[in-house]
């Protein structure tokens, strides 16, 4: 059984027991979260779709909140002595999927 959830403007295919990095969620590490924006659920060949699917929810546990590795943003215009360097670290929440229910 798997589900497709929408979180932070992106869609993720998740299964029970899987660990996923989502956009940062409000909550401390160890707290339970219910992800209700389920777009699709597949259960043994039976596929349900919707936006969101009626009565479907995904229960998860937040494992950690952190920041990803740094990405270097470098801009340059040749022959013009123009260079700009900027770094970015995206915030994330690592989540373990506990249960998918329909």
Contacts of 88 (CB under 8 A, 6+ apart): 70, 71, 73
Q: What average pLDDT score do residues 96-101 get?
A: 93
pLDDT digits (tens, 9 = 90+) for 7-63: 989 999 999 999 999 999 888 999 999 987 899 999 888 888 888 888 899 999 999
pLDDT digits (tens, 9 = 90+) for 66-79: 999 999 999 999 99
Contacts of 95 (CB under 8 A, 6+ apart): 19, 20, 21, 22, 25, 33, 60, 61, 62, 63
Domain enclosing residue 63, as ranges: 2-101
Look at the chain and report how many structural domains it folds into.
1
Q: What is the pTM of this model?
A: 0.81
Cβ neighbour number for residue 97 with a 10 Å cutoff? 21
Q: Which pLDDT value is given to residue 73?
A: 97
Contact 35, 20 (CB under 8 A): no
């Amino acid at each position: 059984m798997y589900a497709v959830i929408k979180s932070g403007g992106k869609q993720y295919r998740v299964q029970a027991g899987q660990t996923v990095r989502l956009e940062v969620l409000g909550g401390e590490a160890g707290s339970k979260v219910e992800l209700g924006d389920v777009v699709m659920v597949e259960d043994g060949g039976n596929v349900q779709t919707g936006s969101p699917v009626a009565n479907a929810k995904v229960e998860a546990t937040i494992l950690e909140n952190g920041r990803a590795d740094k990405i270097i943003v470098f801009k340059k215009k040749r022959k013009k002595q123009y260079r700009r360097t900027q770094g970015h670290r995206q915030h994330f929440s690592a989540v373990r999927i506990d249960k998918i229910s329909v």
